[in-house]
Amino acid sequence: MKNKNLKRVFTTLLVLVLTAGVYFLGFFSYRWTRSSVVKDVLKILEIYEKHYYFKSDEVVDEIADAIFDDYSTYYTAPEYAQITSKNNGKNFGVGLSFYTGTLDIYNVDVNSPCYKAGVKAGGTLVSATKGGVLTNGFEAKETLENLSEGEEVSIGIDYGGNVETYNVLKSRYGLSYVTYMNSIGAYVFHEKDNSMQFEKDSNAVISGEGVGYIKLNSFSGKADNSYGVVYQMKTALEKFKQDGNKKLILDLRNNGGGDMEVVSSVSSMLIKKRQSKQCFAISEDRDGNKKYYYLNGNISDDYGIEKIIILANINTASASEMLIGAMLDYDDNNAVQVIIDGYNRNGETVYKTYGKGILQTTYKYPDGSAVKVTTAKVFWPKSNVSIHGVGVTEAASNKVVKAVDKTAYSLALEII
């Protein structure tokens, strides 16, 4: 245990020293001098820097991977700048999202180069050609990740045996976090004149009288304008009300979470506030200190929602699971139901969400780099349930059901 702790201290300090520089060293030296262990670590670090034969240019990433959990990471200044840009509603890339560990595409970002080229979700990336060099399989995905701005790539997407080829340029684009569908068509946010405008995108419709559908892709858009999740969600709900709908299908499948403040605002649109300060989540750090997160406002009554069915799957995680928990905990009128898609795990169909019930905090440094680390565990507001490592399942509530032999979406249409 002593050696393990010493390794953690050493590697953590190495990350900080290599990424923050002299200013950071001076700023926090008063803490370091209090620990004899830290003094010993600094001796080791000095030897590493001066003499270690296997010194690596990738040492910071390697250290972060070694000591942190899967949700903690180190960002270089350029990497963190891209994260910040995406949080503010601007992405930089070709616009494809893959299921973890696969080349299967579950989302094509609206407004992205791939979206404009006609790439559809549901296909599999099989090739990428850049500068005349062809790569296949996971090397093709790596080719996309390493593109520079303005570089062109030709990608091959397999749709069930039919391979289509698309030419795309890596570029910046505004994110449409929300898709709304009614009996007329589907609506998304298109980027025009430096703003995101809510427009009809296709003729896809939802059946059912008084039923509206909203797909929320992420809680990461923190911008306080049309590029943010809050603005886009409000706009979709206003359209939902304008269309005379009373029943909402809220699709959180493949929504991996995001920012706590955004979750607070979205929760306020969907949960009826019963008191002046109403908690929607609780976090607890390693020392047992608790922090309460509250609804940001009280506007759920503005939209006239009488029933909500939430769609979820194995990629529904973190903030999405937090929202589900709060909605279930405060569902006094039995107006909320959760339907979970199944996924195959070693030949068995499992029905659960991802199971991320922990909170990360990002520490930024003067040189533009940052370290995101897990700092607390999260609990549902009334039941005090933690879904970390477990996910939302039927065991969490009798209002959670499995989509057996059909999709969560099709089952929702049947029972709403």
Q: Mean pLDDT per segment of 10 residues, for the chain of length 416 residues?
A: 46 50 44 63 78 78 79 90 88 92 94 96 96 96 92 96 96 96 95 95 88 97 96 97 96 95 95 87 97 86 93 97 97 95 93 97 93 96 96 96 96 94
Residues 6+ apart with CB under 8 A from 375: 285, 359, 360, 361
- Check if the beta carbon of residue 145 is closer than 8 Å to that of residue 151: no
pLDDT at 379: 98
pLDDT at 35: 65
Strands (E), 193-327: 195-202, 211-216, 247-251, 279-284, 290-294, 307-312
Residue 201: Cβ within 10 Å count: 18
Buried b (16+ CB within 10 A) or exposed e, 280-291: bbbbeeeeeeee
pLDDT at 22: 38
CATH H-level, domain 175-415: superfamily: 2-enoyl-CoA Hydratase; Chain A, domain 1 (3.90.226.10)
pLDDT at 327: 97
Q: Is the dihedral of CA 305, 213, 84, 371 positive or negative?
A: positive
340 pairs with which residues across the strands?
312, 402
pLDDT at 13: 53
Domain locations along the chain:
2-67, 90-172, 175-415
CA gyration radius for the chain? 23
What is the distance between the alpha carbons of residues 152 and 159, in angstroms, rounded to a whole number?
A: 22
- Check if the beta carbon of residue 245 is closer than 8 Å to that of residue 273: no
pLDDT at 19: 44
**Do 90-172 and 175-415 show the same overall fold?**
no
CATH label, 90-172, candidates 3.40.190.10, 2.30.42.10, 3.30.360.10, 3.40.50.150 = 2.30.42.10
